[in-house]
Chains A and B, each alone.
Chain A
Amino acid sequence: MKEQLQKDFDNTIKNLTLSQKDIEIKKFYLDNFINKGFPNRKEEDWKFSDLNQIIKKNIGEISFYSDYTSTNKVDTSAFVDGLEHNKIVFINGRIEKIDFDYEKKDQIEIIDQSETINKFNNNSSLSDLNGAFTNKSFKIVVKKGYQLTKPLIIYHTTNSKIWSKNINLRLNFELYENSSLRLIDLFKDTSEKNFINIFYNFDLKENSILKNFKVDKFENKNIKYSFNNIEQDKNSISETFILSSGSNFCKNEINCNLNGEYSSAFVNGIFSVNNNKLHEIRTIINHLTENTKSYQLIKSVLEDSSRAVYQGKIFVNPKAQKTDGYQLSKAILLNKDSEFNAKPELEIYADDVKCSHGSASGSLNEDSIFYLMSRGLNYQQSRELLINGFLLDVVEKITDPEVKNLIKNMIGIKE
C-alpha cells in the first residue's frame, strides 16, 4: 500500500497550488498515515469494527487519488423537495456548488482554506489520511447575532464514476456569538466500494446554537467514517442527530468539548440496519467546566445479520462540578444473527455530579405483540407499530419542527 499512497499523494499535490510549507505539513500527515495504516481491532476504539479488515474485504485495492479537474453535473432532482434550503453539493468528493440563496450575504463568510492547512484536534490515522489527501477545505463563518433563516443541506453524492476510491472531506464551521445554524448532511450514493472519510470541526461561541442532522438513509455499498469535533463556549448548545442506515459500514464519531459554563450537548441516534451491515456510533463528551450538561439517546433496530455498536463516553474533569450527564442506549434484535455491542463509559473526577447511563438490548416484547394482535392487527402490523414507536422516541427529540417532519417523512414513520 505504501507505494500506492506515495504515488497517489504526488498526483494529488501536483493539482494543488500549495506553498512549500503546506506541502511539508501534508507530507508529515502522509508519513504518519503510512506508519499507522488503517485502524484495526488492536486499537480500543476500533475493537468492535476492524476498519482495516473491512476495507480489505469490501474494497480490496484502494486508490487515494481522485481527479478533481473536471466538473460533474449537478443533478437537481436529488434535492430535497418541500423544504427551502441552502446547499453545498459534493459530488465524488468535489465541491460543485455552494449556495446560500436564502441568507444575507454579508452575514455568512465562506473562506477557502485549502491553502492554509490547519491542525486538527485529533491524531488518529484517519485524521492523518484526511489531512494528507483533502483537496479543498472550506471554512464557513456565521457572523455575530445572525441566525440562518433556512437550514443548510450538504449533499454528499457519489456516482458510478468512482470505484475503490478513498474520498476525504473537511469542513470548518465557526458560529459567532448568538448565531445559529441548522445543518443537514444527506448522503446519496450510487457508487460502490468507496471509502469516504469526513472531518468536521465546529467552533461554537457564546450563546450560539448548532443543530446537525446526519442522514445516511439510502442503500449503498460504501464505507463511511465521519468525525465531528465540537468546541463549545459559554451557553452554547449543540444538537446532533444521526440516522445510521444505508451504508455497508458507517461509523460516526462525535467529540464534544464543553469548554464554557452552561453549555450543553445532545446526541440522538438511530440505527436501523439490515443485511450484513455494521454500523457504529462513538461519542466522547468532555465536561471541562462547571454546570455543563449532556444527553445521549441511541436506539437500534437490527435485522438479518447486521451489527451495531455504540461506544459512548462521558468524561468529567475535576473542575466540572455540577455536571449533568446522561446516556441511554436501547436495541431491538429482530434476527438471531443480529448483534448489538455497547460500551457506555463513565470517567469521572468530580464529586458533585449527576451522571448515569443505561443500556438495554433484547427482542421485541411478545406480550405487546400479543396485545396488538388481540386488537385485530396482524403480526406484521403489530411489529411495525412497535418498531415505529420505538424509533419515534428519538425523532421526537429533534427540536426543529421543519427538520423533524422532513426526517419523519424520510424514514416513513407515521404518527
Chain B
Amino acid sequence: MDNRQKEIDNLKDYKYGFTTDIENTRAPKGLNEDVIKFISNIKKEPQWMLNFRLKAYERFKQLKEPDWQKPKYPKIDYQDLYYYSAPKSMKDKPKNLDDLDPKLLETYKKLGIPLQEQKRLNGIAVDAVFDSVSVATTFREELTKQGIIFCPISEAIQNHPELVKKYLGSVIPVTDHFFATLNSAVFTDGSFAYIPEGVRCPMELSTYFRINASNTGQFERTLIVADKGSYVSYLEGCTAPMRDENQLHAANVELVALDDAEIKYSTVQNWYPGDKDGKGGIYNFVTKRGLCKGKNSKISWTQVETGSAITWKYPSCILKGDNSVGEFYSIAITNNHQKADTGTKMIHLGKNTKSKIISKGISAGFSDMTYRGLVDISSKATNSNNYTQCDSLLMGNKCGAHTVPYIKNKNSESNIAHEATTSKISEEQLHYCQQRGLSAEEAVGLIVNGFCKEVLQQLPMEFAVEAQKLVGISLEGSVG
C-alpha cells in the first residue's frame, strides 16, 4: 500500500508520467560501426541506407559537440546510451489493431490517442511511434486512395526507395551539425509522407511520439515531401513518461515543398520537463529544416514548446524557389528550472521570397528563455521581405529572457524589419481580471493566452484547444 501511495505521489506532478512494462530488444550499449550495422540489419535495410548511415558516422567522429548555446547541460556520454530499443512484441508486425499488445493500447488510451473507436470520429490518421518502432498506421487506405503515402520511414525505405533516396538528406545533409549527423547515423524510425502532384491532403496527418525505454536516446527521422501543387498539414505532439535521468532526443525533420506546394507543420511539445528542482527531464535537441524548393512554395512552422528540461532547436526555412514563403510561429514557455534556446532561421535565396517570424516567449520560476534567430537575405534574393516580431514576458525576478537575432541583408532591394519587446504582466491587467472574479492564476492564464493568441490561431483546431490548456497548465504555480 505504501509503495502504491508513493507511486501515485510521484505521478501527481506530471499528467502523462507513467511507463508501460514491455520487454525491449536493445542494441548493445554504445556507438560504433557494429551498432549502426545492427540497427540497419534489424530494419532489413538495403545497402545504400547502411552506406548513408556509415557516411554520417564517419563525419560524426570528426565533429565536436557545440557549446555556444545558452543553456548548459552536463556532458553526455554518447558511449553510455542505447541506440536501439523496440518493444518485443513488435518483432512481427501486427496485421490489425486487435493484434496489438493490449498494454500499448492502454498507454495510448491514457494519452487520448484516437487509435480505436475514436479514430473515425476524429478524422486523424495516426502514425503512433512507441519508442522507436512504429506500431500501427490507421487511415492508410483512405490516404492510399488519393495516392498519399504516409507510413513509418523504415517501411518507406523498403517500399518507396526511389523517393527516400532522392529526398532523405537533401535538406539536412549527412555532413550537417553534430546532433543532426548523429541522427543520420543512428535514426531508428519516424514518419514519411509523400503528397503527390495536385493533391490536397484531406486530413491532418499526425504522429504522437513517446519516449519509453529508459536510457534510450530517441532518434526520430521525419521526411515530408509535398509534390507540385499539393498541400499537407502535419501535426506532431509529444508527451513522455517520467524519468529521473536526463534523456537525449535528437530528431531530424526534413520538409521538401516543390512548385506551388504548401506544408504546414505544427508541434505541441510537452515532454517531461524535470521536477520542481530541475532534476530529470528531456533534452530536446531537434533539427528541423524545410526547403521551399519550387516556385511559389510555402512552409509554415508552428510550435508550442512547454516541455523538456532543455529545448534547443531552430525550425528553419530555406527559401530557394522564387516567390516562396516561410513562416514561423512559436510559443515557448519555461517554468521552474526549464531552459529553452529556440528560434528560427530564414534563409532567402530566391527572388521575391517572403518570411514572417512571430515568437512569444514566456519565462517563469527560475527558468531561462532565449530567442535566437537568423534572417539572411542573400544578394540574389531580390525584392524579398522579412518581418520579425519577438516578444518576451517575464514572470518573477528569478528568470531570464533573452533575444539574440542575427540579421543579414545583402540585397538592396529587400527589406527586413525586426521588433522585440520584453515586459511583464501589468498590475492593472491583473487587477482588472481579479476584480471581475478571476483568481490570480486564472487571470494570468487569460492574459498569457491573449499574449499568445497570434500563434495559437495558427494551430489546427485539434491542437488549438489542447495547446491553450497546456499554456495554463505549464504556468501553474508561477504566480502568488
Contacts and interface: CB of A to CB of B under 8 A. Distances in A.
A338 to B, nearest CB: 6
B409 A356 contact: no
B395 A351 contact: yes
A355 interface: yes
A355 B422 contact: yes
Interface in A343-387: 343-363
Interface in B389-411: 392, 394-411
B424 interface: yes
Contact of A363 (B68, B379, B415, B423): B415
27 contacts: A321-B397, A336-B413, A339-B408, A340-B409, A342-B406, A343-B407, A344-B407, A345-B405, A346-B402, A346-B403, A348-B401, A350-B397, A351-B394, A351-B396, A352-B397, A353-B423, A355-B421, A356-B420, A358-B419, A359-B405, A359-B416, A359-B417, A360-B418, A361-B407, A361-B415, A362-B414, A362-B416
Contacts of A321: 397
A148 interface: no
Contacts of A337: 379
A356 B413 contact: no
A159 interface: no
Contacts of B415: 360-363
Interface string B441-473: 000000000000000000000000000000000
Interface string A41-54: 00010000000000
Nearest to B394: A351
- Among the interface residues B68, B394, B412, B424, which one has the most CB atoms of the partner chain A within 10 A? B412
A118 interface: no
Contacts of B412: 333-336, 338, 362-363
B425 to A, nearest CB: 9
Contacts of B397: 318, 321, 349-352
- Among the interface residues A340, A346, A349, which one has the most CB atoms of the partner chain B within 10 A? A346
Nearest to A307: B410
A331 B409 contact: yes
Nearest to A323: B422
A-B pairs, top 6 by smallest CB distance, nearest first, are: A362-B415, A333-B412, A351-B394, A359-B418, A356-B421, A346-B403
A107 interface: no
A342 B376 CA distance: 11
Interface residues of B, number: 34
A341 B409 contact: yes
B424 A352 contact: yes
Given A336-B412, A355-B422, A360-B415, 7 more contacts: A331-B409, A333-B412, A340-B409, A341-B409, A355-B423, A358-B418, A361-B407
Contacts of B405: 342-345, 359
A347 B402 contact: yes
A346 B412 CA distance: 27
A341 B405 CA distance: 10
Contact of A341 (B406, B418, B419): B406
Contacts of A338: 412
A217 to B, nearest CB: 24
Contacts of A360: 415-418
Nearest to A356: B421
Contacts of A333: 409, 411-412
Interface of A: 44, 318, 321, 331, 333-363
B401 A342 contact: no
A349 B424 CA distance: 12
A255 B392 CA distance: 25
A321 B68 CA distance: 28
Contacts of B400: 347-349
B421 A359 contact: no
Nearest to B416: A361
B402 A345 contact: yes
Contacts of B398: 318
A101 B394 CA distance: 53
A76 B34 CA distance: 79
Contacts of A318: 397-398
Given A333-B412, A363-B413, A343 B406 contact: yes
A349 B423 CA distance: 11
A336 B420 contact: no
Given A338-B412, A340-B409, A363-B412, A348 B418 contact: no
A335 B379 CA distance: 10
Contacts of B422: 346, 348, 353-356
- Among the interface residues A321, A350, A351, A363, which one has the most CB atoms of the partner chain B within 10 A? A351
B418 A354 contact: no
Contacts of B416: 359-362
B157 to A, nearest CB: 39
A44 B420 CA distance: 21
Contacts of A334: 412
Contacts of B394: 348, 350-351, 353
A44 B66 CA distance: 14
A64 B400 CA distance: 44
Nearest to A334: B412
Contacts of B395: 351
Nearest to B412: A333
A295 to B, nearest CB: 15
A335 B423 CA distance: 38
Contacts of B396: 351
A345 B404 contact: yes
Nearest to A44: B68
Nearest to A339: B410
A43 to B, nearest CB: 11
Contacts of B406: 341-343
Contacts of B424: 351-353
Contacts of A354: 422-423
A329 to B, nearest CB: 9
Contacts of A331: 409
B268 to A, nearest CB: 26
A209 to B, nearest CB: 28
A395 to B, nearest CB: 24
Contacts of B403: 344-346, 357
A334 to B, nearest CB: 6
Given A335-B412, A336-B412, A351-B396, A346 B420 contact: yes
Contacts of B399: 349, 351
Contacts of A346: 392, 401-403, 420, 422
Contacts of B420: 344, 346, 356-358
- Among the interface residues A44, A334, A338, A361, which one has the most CB atoms of the partner chain B within 10 A? A361
- Among the interface residues B394, B407, B422, which one has the most CB atoms of the partner chain A within 10 A? B422
